[in-house]
Amino acid sequence: MNKKDLILKTMISSTEINPYFTYKSLNKSLFPELNIDQVKFLIDNIILEKPELIKRIENFLDNDLIQPTGLINDFLNNGGFSKLEKQKKEKLIDIKKLKDLEYKLAKSNIRANEINEKVAKRNKRETIINIILGLINIGLIIWQSLLIAK
């Protein structure tokens, strides 16, 4: 379970009817290894990504109070932030695979263009040779018809 899910789970496990929490109380009970700003950052991320999960009452006696909403249980039962982060990682992997394929396609197109340029040069040479041979053939036909006419 990731830290954001742990915060949500802790908030709904309170036995109070309308529980309120502060960054400090969550820091103390859940993440003593983090500082208050890190806990505030986690909660701000929860609110940013899923604002319907937490209500914030700002600046109440110089302390922000946060309160869980009734939507947290369903959210956690459906995988919570762990599931969302897994989906984000999978999407990033898919995007990376797509970019790799695009890169390979671009390399392939460059190589195909190089081959096409070589073929075009060869075709141009062969066209010039064919024109010269055609002119020689016309010249020979005219020369033969002049010889036969004498």
Query: Mean pLDDT, the chain, as a whole number?
Result: 91
Q: State the Cα–Cα distance between residues 139 and 144, nearest whole angstrom.
A: 9
Average pLDDT over residues 96-118: 96
User: How do the domains of the chain map onto residue ranges?
Assistant: 3-77
Res 5: pLDDT: 95
CATH classification of 3-77, choosing from 1.10.10.10, 3.30.560.10, 3.40.50.720, 3.30.950.10? 1.10.10.10
44 alpha carbon, distance to own chain's centre: 23
Q: What is the mean pLDDT of residues 58-71?
A: 79
Least confident of 6-10, 55-59, 109-113: 55-59
- pLDDT band with cut points at 50, 70 and 90 for residue 59: low
Burial 77-92 (b: 16+ CB within 10 A, else e): eeebbeebeeeeeeee
The answer to whether 2 touches 81, Cβ cutoff 8 Å, is yes
pLDDT greater than 90 at residue 43: yes
Q: Is the pLDDT of residue 7 over 90?
A: yes
